[in-house]
Amino acid sequence: MERLRTPFFIVALVAMALVVCVELGEQLLIGGVDAGTALTDNAAALGAQVPAGGHVERPSGVGIPYLALLDFAALFTVALMAAGLVVPQRLHGRLQGVVTLIVAILLLLTSIGLILLAVAKLVLMVALLLAFPFGTIAYLILFASFPRGTATVILSLLMFLKLVYAGSLVAAQPRFLQNKGLVLLTLCSLLCNVVVAFLHGLVPGILVSITDAVAGIVVAIVALIWSVVLLVGAVVGIVTAARTTADTARTTATALPAT
């Protein structure tokens, strides 16, 4: 079997780690900044009057941060492979199932919670937007100034890093292409990146917060499905490891001379 090219594998691991860090840090780049100018422009576009002055903070989106759910699963998978390079094989085999089980449960619960949060945010935004005039004005104040340009730049950076990750994995070991789970997870990550970008560009600027919430729900549902896959795989791995250990112990006991 062709040897693993460790430098390329490390590049893949670092690239996916950067992806997760950028997604989790997206709120620092998009949320919590002054949106007063954009608010005035959006209000004028709808023919609404907004009092001048004051500081309005732009809430962060959910589409890009929710990508971290799915990409963390990819990072965790590659990190397990990396651990196999430094941890003794026997210990790695015993711990892999347990660690995967814990991570899968945490990812499952987090995905469910974030889906509910995104649905609640989506319902709130739609209700405010349709409650003209005061609800619409409240929507403009809180949600209408989504920084689509900045989000596009971040999504482009994420796509580049994910392509580096995928290319480096193949360069490290072409046999990774035979790992259907890893290939499907990588394709899902790339596709979700495209879906978020598509939904951001689908509607006028004042409605992007709504489609961003929809994107977050879609991504979280995909992450929920993958958490179930990891959970099932972890349970199967633990059962298999337990059976192997039991068979080994039984074989050893049989081979011992009778006293």
Our count of domains for the chain comes to 1
> Residue 65 in contact with residue 26, Cβ under 8 Å?
yes
Asked, for residue 1, whether it belongs to a domain, the answer is no
Amino acid letter, 83: A
Instruction: State pLDDT tens for residues 39-67.
Output: 555 555 545 444 554 445 556 789 999 99
pLDDT at 60: 72
Asked, for residue 88, whether it belongs to a domain, the answer is yes
Most confident range, picked from 88-92, 141-145, 249-253 = 141-145
pLDDT band at residue 97 using 50, 70 and 90 as cut-offs: confident
Residue (of 130, 125, 149, 144) closest to 56 by Cα position: 144
Asked, for residue 149, whether it belongs to a domain, the answer is yes
Asked, for residue 236, whether it belongs to a domain, the answer is yes
CA dihedral 23, 25, 27, 32 (to 10 degrees): -170
Report the C-alpha gap between 93 and 253 in whole angstroms: 22
Amino acid letter, 230: L
Question: Nearest 5 degrees, angle CA 58-CA 62-CA 65?
Answer: 110
Asked, for residue 118, whether it belongs to a domain, the answer is yes
Using the predicted structure, report yes or no on whether residue 248 has a pLDDT greater than 80. Answer: no
Using the predicted structure, report yes or no on whether residue 257 has a pLDDT greater than 70. Answer: no
Average pLDDT over residues 226-250: 75
Domain span holding position 18: 6-255
Could you tell me which residue, 60 or 108, shows the higher pLDDT? 108
Asked, for residue 100, whether it belongs to a domain, the answer is yes
pLDDT at 251: 59
> Residue 181 in contact with residue 225, Cβ under 8 Å?
no
Asked, for residue 53, whether it belongs to a domain, the answer is yes
Residues in contact with 208: Cβ distance below 8 Å, sequence separation at least 6, in sequence order: 146, 148, 200
pLDDT at 96: 82
Report the C-alpha gap between 221 and 68 in whole angstroms: 13
Using the predicted structure, report yes or no on whether residue 199 has a pLDDT greater than 90. Answer: yes
